[in-house]
Structure 1
Amino acid sequence: MAILDIFIPGRAKANLSTKLAVVKGLAVSHGGKSGLLDERMALWEACCDGAADLVTQLFIGNWEKQMNWGLKKRRRKLNQPRLTAIYWWMLLYQLVILRNRGLQGLDKDEEFDSLRGVAFDFMEALASSPDNVVQNPGPWESNWERQVSLEAALALYDRVMQVLGLRVDFEARITRVSLFTSASEKAYDVNIAEPIARRLGSD
């Protein structure tokens, strides 16, 4: 983070929003390069948007008050590698919700397997790029694919705090993560599942 970001109100948030938009754009673009068909590409793009929304609410400004991990005052810790890692974890978290809640008209396991491959290819492409300083952080836990949403969110909370070098407040953890899980599942239903179902119904 630039030193001026500390002293100019709003500058840090604006810079972080710009960097986040770039990472999301790279993720969306990678889906297109992966040869996803129209419906699956629409789902991938919606998951990329959903991941960016979660990062925005945790670090920049939350219109959903339930999405608060006490991180907005810690945004100066978000250098590019940390931002990219956290965004990617939130993208995987969208896939966990997808696998647990499903999508009307689609095979959730088939969609999960396909988009999981795209997500991992995306991170590998970033990590292997000579122009990028990002290392592959790996998922938050090795068994992430089998976790339910709350279990994944708890482990994700711990990893985010760890990568930022923050102590885990176990007293606040359960409440924060429970509220976050409920809000993120609702956001998935409204912003991903329902629009995709309508799109499928109109075809």
Structure 2
Amino acid sequence: MAILDIFIPGRAKANLSTKLAVVKGLAVSHGGKSGLLDERMALWEACCDGAADLVTQLFIGNWEKQINWGLKKRRRKLNQPRLTAIYWWMLLYQLVILRNRGLQGLDKDEEFDSLRGVAFDFMEALASSPDNVVQNPGPWESNWERQVSLEAALALYDRVMQVLGLRVDFEARIARVSLFTSASEKAYDVNIAEPIARRLGSD
């Protein structure tokens, strides 16, 4: 982070928002390059948006008070590799919610398997790019794809704290993650599942 970001109010937030938008744009673009069909591409883009929303609320400003891990004062720790890793984890977390909650009119396991492949290809493309300083962080746990939403969020919380070099506050952890899980599942229903269902219904 530039030294001026520390002293100019709002500059750090604006810079972080810009960097996050770039990462999200790369993720969306990668979905298009992967040859996803219209419905699946719409789902991928919605998941990319959902991941960006979670990162925004955790580090920049939250419109859902339940999405708060006490990280806004720690945003100076969020360099490009860490931002990219956390965004990618939040993208995988959207897929965990997808697999657990499903989508009306679609086979959730089939959609999960397809988008999981795109997500991993996206990270591999970033990590192998000569213009990028990002390393592949891997999922938060090896069994991530078999986890329920709360289990995934607990492990994700721990990894985020670890990558930022922060001590895990075990007293706050359960409450923070429980609220986060409820809010993120609701956001998935409203911003992903319901619009995709309406889209399928209109076809």
Q: TM-score, normalized by length of structure 1? A: 1.00
CA distance in 1, matches of 2:65, 2:193: 22
CA distance in 2, matches of 1:61, 1:97: 23
CA distance in 1, matches of 2:10, 2:183: 26
Q: Does 1:7 align with 2:7?
A: yes
Deviation at residue 118 of structure 1 after TM alignment = 0.1
CA distance in 1, matches of 2:51, 2:63: 15
In structure 2, the gaps of 5 or more residues are none
CA distance in 2, matches of 1:142, 1:103: 25
| Number of corresponding residues | 203
CA distance in 2, matches of 1:191, 1:3: 37
Deviation at residue 136 of structure 1 after TM alignment = 0.0
In structure 1, the gaps of 5 or more residues are none
Q: Does 1:26 align with 2:29?
A: no
Equivalent position SS for 1:50:
helix
CA distance in 1, matches of 2:136, 2:62: 28
Deviation at residue 148 of structure 1 after TM alignment = 0.0
Equivalent position SS for 1:168:
coil
Deviation at residue 158 of structure 1 after TM alignment = 0.1
CA distance in 1, matches of 2:99, 2:118: 15
Deviation at residue 200 of structure 1 after TM alignment = 0.2
Query: How is 1:2-151 mapped onto 2 (pairs within 5 angstroms)?
Result: 2-151=2-151
Deviation at residue 178 of structure 1 after TM alignment = 0.1
Deviation at residue 94 of structure 1 after TM alignment = 0.0
Equivalent position SS for 2:23:
helix
CA distance in 2, matches of 1:140, 1:180: 17
Deviation at residue 106 of structure 1 after TM alignment = 0.1
Deviation at residue 196 of structure 1 after TM alignment = 0.1
Deviation at residue 23 of structure 1 after TM alignment = 0.0
Deviation at residue 128 of structure 1 after TM alignment = 0.1
- In the alignment, which residue of structure 1 is the partner of 2:192? 192
Runs of 4+ in structure 1 deviating by more than 2 angstroms, as ranges, are: none
Deviation per CA, 1:107-132: give whole Å up to 9, x if none.
Answer: 00000000000000000000000000
Deviation at residue 189 of structure 1 after TM alignment = 0.1
Equivalent position SS for 1:65:
coil
CA distance in 1, matches of 2:171, 2:40: 40
Equivalent position SS for 1:119:
helix
